[in-house]
Structure 1
Amino acid sequence: MQTKDIREKILNFMREESYAPMTSEELVDALGHDVNPNKFWDELLALEQNGEIIKTRFETYGLPEKMGLVAGRFQLTSKGFGFVIPDNKGDRPDVFIPPRALHGAMNNDRVLARVNNAVQGKKPEGEILRIITHANNKVVGVFHQTGDFAFVTPDDKRIGQDVYVMRKHFNGAKDGQKVVVEITEWPQEHRKAEGKVTEVLGNIGDVGLEILSIIKQNDLPLTFPDEVLEASRKVPKSIKKSELAGRRDLRERTVVTVDGEDAKDLDDAVYVEQINDNEYLLGVYIADVSYYVTEDSVLDKEARERGTSVYLVDRVLPMLPERLSNGICSLNAGEDRLSMACEMHIDKMGKVLSYEIFPAVINVRHRLSYNIVRAILAGDKEMCDKYEDILPMIARMDILRQILHDKRARRGAVDFDLPEQKVILDEKLHPIEIVQRIHGNAESIIE
């Protein structure tokens, strides 16, 4: 029996209405052949340590919610109070925790709290009993030296308290610098957290310091491990003829990409053709990353760990090394690329008549930007002359966009056209202007 199965057996048994707290011996006897006795003890301990079950002073076990307790994530506000967001929330309300009842808990810690049923209010009120797991083992902030000791004031005001640093742990930090401090002693009720400086990020006002601080505060990776880079170097820069077997060859189609001006990794492309007076063919082509990043490979594990690419004001932290994200896995114009295709036949009312998903090979004809498409739709002569070969398709794309928009409107969809800003940087990465992003037909074509 798998570990997960044993834990679910224990939890499901305790969730039964008739369950009353039992000792570990009584539990294993009651579960009988449903669990492996040799693994039962380890899983019971793991559930207790994770706060999913509680061990009472009578050496019996039960669920927190049946004992007036709540396990969950603690969310601290900048005003000093916070809330415990319960695990498996469902219809269970958050638990308000006043400043006097934090007992050393920090923002995003996983905690166990007792609910005070005597306090009346819209939200239940409680106090932190135990910190199950700490979330802030590293903190970014400003280093303030006072004689032989210092304090680091966190950038994130929700952390709620300074971190004390002894002189032997300054590691070259100077007063007023931005640093990363690793917590070595967690806070107690009347005692601040202690830590040591692990990295000096720079002086206040340095170019790029605030972005670097955000990266460090969120523990975002700036580099890839050597084994990941080595694996990426083994991926070819171009596709081989043998790799085309079993793929539909669509390289003659006028497929285009449409992205922002500063996009680097181009992972989707489109094509529109009018079949007859009542039918359009819409082709959407996604870079076939899975061909190069196979399941459970070094590259796959790194990508899963990162979860997504992160787009910041002055840089992108990619999910995959640049050789893949900007190379073979990017649908660069004029280069053969492997893709997964979805081709749909859509009528003039926006109804999808049929669709097909299949592996393909494409060659993007043009790398377009929203500004280019916007200019073409507005009749800009220079852009229309430059992209004369795809003018009819751009017009069809806009027609199909309107058809699909009208269909959404008929179905009662809400159009959230919210303003969005973009920070313009100069060559030295200083912000020089904040402009509102244009969101028009060009953007809607892709969306």
Structure 2
Amino acid sequence: MSARSELLKRLREDVHRPLSKEGIFQKFEIAKEQQQMFSDLLDDLIKSGHIFKNSQGLYGVPEKFNLIGGRVEKIASGNAFLIPDNPEKDDIYISSANMNGAMHNDKVFVRPIRSDRGKSQAGEVAEIIERVNKEVVGNLEKYKNYGFLIPDNKRICNDIFIPPEALNQAQNGQKVVAKITRWPEKNRNPEGEIIEILGNKDDAGVDIEAIIRQLDLPGEFPDKVLKQIENIPDQVNEKTVKKDDGRVDLRDLKLVTIDGPDAKDFDDAVSIEKQGSDVYRLGVHIADVSHYVTDNSPLDNEAYSRATSIYLVDRVIPMLPEKLSNGICSLNPQVDRLTMTVFIDYRFHGKNGIEIIDHDITKSVINSNHRMTYGEVQDILDNKEQAKKEEYSDFIEELEMMNELRRRLRKNRFAEGSMDFNFPEVKVELDEDGHPINLKKRSHGEAEQLIEEFMIAANRIVAAEMSWREMPFIYRVHEEPDLDRMQQFNEFIHNFGYRLKGVKNGVHPRALQEILEAVRGTKEEKIIETVMLRSLKKAVYSEKNVGHFSLGITHYSHFTSPIRRYPDLTAHRIIKETITEGYLSQKRQDELDIELPKIADHCSLQERRAMDAERDSVDLKKIEFMEDKIGEEFDGIISGITGFGMFIELENTVEGLVHIKNLRDDYYHYDEEKYHLIGERTKKIYRIGDEVRIKVTKVNRDKRELDFELIEKID
């Protein structure tokens, strides 16, 4: 056991009162020459939230002080939830009155308090461990000699006061960046200083630039990173392949990359071989990024800082420089590439049966035969495109075998309890000036499912292998939902005539999947899927393997995208070390015990910020797309109902509000139990899923608001 794990274990089990640093040294008989190392370890554990130090300078594990560590996730109302560091703990509700100056994504300790939310656990922020929002982007509203910055990130609910001396010539209506100079307190806004003027808020490109700055990520890579990559070759060196012990030569194996038409960084290639009458070997070949991104190098440190590539509507902010992401690490066709390969042998039986009979994880070198798009593969599977079948004639048989494997894997996975949400993805098409000209729904057909199933399969094998070996590892986990949230969800769907099985004793994901299957194609499908998703916890990275609830999987990791996700790169390093030597030394295990919780927490935070930015960029362009459509009429469906009106979703996925005050034919009242609006005189009812015709009346890009007027209900 590592020094870190041993210290935490003994503080939990053997120490019954807070201790000073000297008291810990004495209690655990720490030799004088080791005290500096343990002092550094204590400081590190305080920063990570695993140890609490009180105002008297005494140390202890948080639970002994009745504290729970985690990150704050604000919601639109100004209230928040604590997402605990320990994925086995339930989320904790924090009212706005109990935030005590904490902001969205801050790392904090929360003290549980008595809840007025039924069975939901509530808490108040007791201490802020780490501030995240050191710089904030937004619009400046300037008054006589002072101003307020209105944050673009609506989860930062506090406007930021800018005193006269901190305006730095910024003008009213400009998009600016402010550095926080005084953190918020109870009943007091944060204060800031303008450090950069991005431009007028309506200038072309300023909106997306603001989202980038909100992430606090540089657009360019530092000079020391660019200098390091000068020494990375553009081609795979044959001498390197031969010198690398244990690297298997798979250059004669037929394989292919399948991705979207716009993709440039190809993480994965796939292969399939028939081993006998009923045995098939799937090969999932992932770019060996760790061969080029060495641990603790400038390139590695920058990749860790970014943690993920970010896909905005008009650009990609990559985790790795283009020389790697689109070059030597990208599995382009007809060139040699270093990879990590997962082979999985499946036996088919019966019409739908499938079982794993063997697997292998190895370093490899490949040469991809083809780069295919999802559309091309789908056309071939549908037998639509004869020209494409001729172009890829050497791989048609493999594609048909892959599709049969996909079908069985998918059927088996959902039978075991995996959940299948059906939220449409939208691609925003832009003109040369960055203005939206079209909103196009992305398909998720058999071709997309094929790669999805194969990546899930590889991620499962890798996680199970490392768990079986009992090696430190980074997992992708999704904890079981809170029981009270499931009970609330069950009460909600009861209004639509559905019932959730087993809700009293803990819900199995299969029960939720049955609800998803039952609502597919119905009027209430979207709202039930949305409420279900909000009732679940968020998937995160963790050094603890607690399983993945929504996939119905006990072992899961992220291994298949090391070009764009740092946890995958970390997983590759650990796997390579393990399979090369057969084990990890105790020293290396101790190092990982310290490193992995930090990596997991940092990457989970960066992932949330990236997802917020990606969603913001799409939502922003959706609103902009509707700016010239004021007065136009569209058909849509009621996607949500509240006490203040109805949300209407159009066919292009844009959503707007019909305010209740603008329903002029009657006075309408909101029935909370049945989730519908009912007219006082006419008894006319508006329900989720009803088809309506609307007119666009107002578009406000700053507030991300879209207002509709109801024309008629379509019967």
Q: Give the shorter-chain TM-score range.
A: 0.7 to 0.9
User: Comparing both structures, which one devotes a greater share of its residues to helix?
Assistant: 2
1:204 corresponds to:
201
1:279 corresponds to:
279
2:327 corresponds to:
327
Give the deviation of 1:351 after TM superposition.
Answer: 2.7
Query: What amino acid sits opposite 1:224 in the alignment?
Result: F
1:254 corresponds to:
254
SS class of match (1:205): coil
Q: Does the 8 Å CA contact 2:81/2:91 hold for their aligned counterparts?
A: no
Which of 428, 431, 438 is equivalent to 2:443? 438
Residue 367, structure 1, aligned to residue 365, structure 2:
no
The separation in 2 between residues aligned to 1:69 and 1:281, in whole angstroms, is: 50
2:267 corresponds to:
267
Q: Does the 8 Å CA contact 1:85/1:95 hold for their aligned counterparts?
A: no
SS class of match (2:102): coil
Residue 428, structure 1, aligned to residue 427, structure 2:
no
2:640 corresponds to:
none
SS class of match (1:341): strand
1:303 corresponds to:
303
1:352 corresponds to:
356
Give the deviation of 1:188 after TM superposition.
Answer: 3.3
SS class of match (2:29): helix
Residue 243, structure 1, aligned to residue 269, structure 2:
no
The separation in 1 between residues aligned to 2:411 and 2:47, in whole angstroms, is: 54
1:33 corresponds to:
29
Query: What amino acid sits opposite 2:355 in the alignment?
Result: K
Report 1:48-447 matches (<5 A): 52-55=51-54, 65-88=63-86, 90-91=88-89, 94-99=92-97, 101-113=98-110, 115-117=112-114, 122-123=119-120, 127-245=124-242, 247-349=247-349, 350-379=354-383, 380-409=385-414, 411-447=416-452
Give the deviation of 1:89 after TM superposition.
Answer: 6.7
The separation in 2 between residues aligned to 1:294 and 1:376, in whole angstroms, is: 41
In the alignment, structure 2 segments of 5+ residues that lack a partner are: 453-715
**1:264-316: per-residue Cα shift (whole Å, max 9, x none)?**
10121122233443233322222222222222322222222222222222222
Q: CA 1:227–1:42 in 2, change beyond 3 Å: closer, same or farther?
A: closer
**1:300-337: per-residue Cα shift (whole Å, max 9, x none)?**
22222222222222222211110011001111122222
SS class of match (1:351): strand
Count of equivalent residues: 441
SS class of match (1:337): strand
Give the deviation of 1:91 after TM superposition.
Answer: 4.4
Q: Does the 8 Å CA contact 1:184/1:196 hold for their aligned counterparts?
A: yes
- Calculate the TM-score normalised by the size of structure 2: 0.55
Q: Does the 8 Å CA contact 1:96/1:123 hold for their aligned counterparts?
A: no
Q: Does the 8 Å CA contact 2:72/2:107 hold for their aligned counterparts?
A: yes
In the alignment, structure 1 segments of 5+ residues that lack a partner are: none
Q: Does the 8 Å CA contact 2:430/2:437 hold for their aligned counterparts?
A: yes
The separation in 1 between residues aligned to 2:177 and 2:71, in whole angstroms, is: 24
The separation in 1 between residues aligned to 2:409 and 2:116, in whole angstroms, is: 53
The separation in 2 between residues aligned to 1:118 and 1:269, in whole angstroms, is: 51
The separation in 1 between residues aligned to 2:72 and 2:304, in whole angstroms, is: 26
Give the deviation of 1:176 after TM superposition.
Answer: 0.8
Q: CA 1:76–1:356 in 2, change beyond 3 Å: closer, same or farther?
A: closer
Identity over aligned pairs, percent = 41
Q: CA 1:321–1:32 in 2, change beyond 3 Å: closer, same or farther?
A: closer
The separation in 2 between residues aligned to 1:337 and 1:176, in whole angstroms, is: 51
Give the deviation of 1:340 after TM superposition.
Answer: 2.4
The separation in 2 between residues aligned to 1:70 and 1:356, in whole angstroms, is: 40
Larger radius of gyration: 1
Q: CA 1:224–1:385 in 2, change beyond 3 Å: closer, same or farther?
A: same
**1:22-76: per-residue Cα shift (whole Å, max 9, x none)?**
66666554x051565944777667777877335367x766555445555543343
The separation in 1 between residues aligned to 2:45 and 2:276, in whole angstroms, is: 62
